[in-house]
Copies of this chain bind each other. A is one copy, B any other.
């Protein structure tokens, strides 16, 4: 899985501490010492997916496009890593002796179906966790986290 997924999730949690405030890619990158230009690519992907909204120009930057409770971890995985399953059925049964060229083996092959079922439980689990859930867990463990994040980002001189 793309490493950008991790960056995107942490960045979204950070942005959740600053609702309605635009944060530049440069600041988000500096927070974890990430390559700015490359993180920017991930942020653009989140923006295209409607997870973040971006504003150009001075005082511009990124912010959550909707309530953190409505942004699931799955949303971020799909935005950064794509919607494809990890296991891709290439329908090798079509090359076998009992093959029917008309059959959609992605749907009928029992191996494909078992792998797909596992993938669905994975996605269901990720869909059930929101950025707000993560933020709340962090808040419980580190009540100072939001303020710390805000002051640290504010102190990053552009």
Residues of A within 8 A of B (CB): 1, 3, 5-7, 9-10, 13, 31-34, 73, 86-90, 92-93, 95-98, 110-111, 114-115, 117-119, 121-126, 129, 133-134, 137-138, 141-142, 145, 148-149, 152
Residues of B within 8 A of A123 (CB): 118
Residues of B within 8 A of A7 (CB): 92
**A32 touches which one: B73, B95, B119 (CB < 8 A)?**
B95
Residue of B with least CB distance to A94: B32
Residues of B within 8 A of A117 (CB): 125
Residues of B within 8 A of A3 (CB): 88, 90
Q: Is the CB of A93 within 8 A of B10?
A: yes
Q: Is the CB of B145 within 8 A of A32?
A: no
CB distance from A140 to the nearest CB of B (A): 10
Residues of B within 8 A of A110 (CB): 134, 137-138, 141
Q: Is the CB of A87 within 8 A of B125?
A: no
Residues of B within 8 A of A31 (CB): 96-97
Q: Is the CB of A32 within 8 A of B96?
A: yes
Copies of this chain in the oligomer: 2
CA distance A111 to B129 in the complex (A): 10
**A125 touches which one: B118, B126, B129, B134 (CB < 8 A)?**
B118
Query: Do A98 and B6 contact each other (CB < 8 Å), given the known contacts A110-B134, A121-B121?
Result: no
Residue of B with least CB distance to A126: B118
CA distance A13 to B33 in the complex (A): 48
Residue of B with least CB distance to A142: B98
Query: Do A111 and B13 contact each other (CB < 8 Å), given the known contacts A86-B1, A98-B148?
Result: yes
